[in-house]
Amino acid sequence: MKLAIVTGANKGIGHGIVECLVKCLTPQSDWHVYLTARNVSLGNAAIEGFAKQGLPVKFHQLDITDKASRNKLADYVKSNYPNGINILVNNAGIAYTNDSAVSLSEQAETTLATNYFATVEMCNTFLPWMAKNSRLVNVSSTLSVVALKDLGDDLYEKFVKQMTMDQLNDLMRDFVNQAKSGDLASAGWPQTAYGVSKLGLTKATFILAEQLKDDPRKILINACCPGYVDTDMTNHKGTKTIQEGAETPVYLATLPEGTTEPYGQLIRDCKPLSWTK
């Protein structure tokens, strides 16, 4: 049995990705597609909605920010899917509205904890259990490129050159600390917690791809931007439908066996984006 997992998928883009995967992965009887969500009742409600459409989707609770929750899912995978994970789409994430009353320092800590640190830990936890010819997709954003262009010169040079994951983690912690002390601009950081969280996630994807380029399992690792999608996260101001937003993540998740490109890139509208000013 082949296994696909999509995080943060009880609604929005994640829900759309699950729907597309269930419909396009063939033969359907060979696949188990899992929707994960923090809230069990919301996750089960999503499953019931799929069932009414005749779509066989499975559910497992997952809070990506909770180590115990990540490990519980990992143990479940090891026990029930000895051949490993064929598709992992790290879609779970958060964003504050532009008019949020929450302070930038709090936004920085909360947003990076989920969109960057927890997502990187998802990769670290599940990469050992990825199957041969599997696909890892991190849902990032074009705003990561905007944040890259808005970095001070010293930080920009660091982000366009190779670095280690430890070095990247330190930079992400520095952003949170500078946000708390009110020194973002003087330290060369843009005033956007969401943009920097996705800047970190995109760069982390590049680093993971470099680390695993010679892995015999030939895992295709990429980040993507789904576009500006009509979801709760955008207050339904997005111009793309959920199905349109799911297109690029699903494209990357279902690249045919033997495909070598794209690899270690940020993809939007099924095309690579440049990682420069």
Reported as half-sphere exposure (CB side, CA atoms, 13 A), residue 187 has a value of: 17
Q: Which residue has the tokens 């789904």?
A: 226
Cβ neighbours of residue 95 closer than 8 Å, sequence gap 6 or more: 111, 194, 233
Q: How far apart (Å, rounded) are the C-alpha atoms in residues 238 and 235?
A: 8
Q: How far apart (Å, rounded) are the C-alpha atoms in residues 229 and 108?
A: 23
Exactly one of 34, 81, 116, 194 is catalytic; name it. 194
Rg (CA), the chain: 18
> What tokens were used for 90?
């790290």
Cβ neighbours of residue 106 closer than 8 Å, sequence gap 6 or more: none
Q: In the annotation, is 228 catalytic?
A: no
**Residue 253 β-bridge partners:** none
For 29, 169, 238, the CA distances from 24, given in Å and listed in that order, are: 12, 36, 25
Strand spans (E) along 26-165 = 31-37, 57-61, 85-90, 130-139
Residue 221 and residue 205 in contact, taking contact as beta carbons nearer than 8 Å: yes
Residue 164 CB neighbours (<10 A): 11
Q: How far apart (Å, rounded) are the C-alpha atoms in residues 239 and 251?
A: 20
The catalytic site residues sit at 194
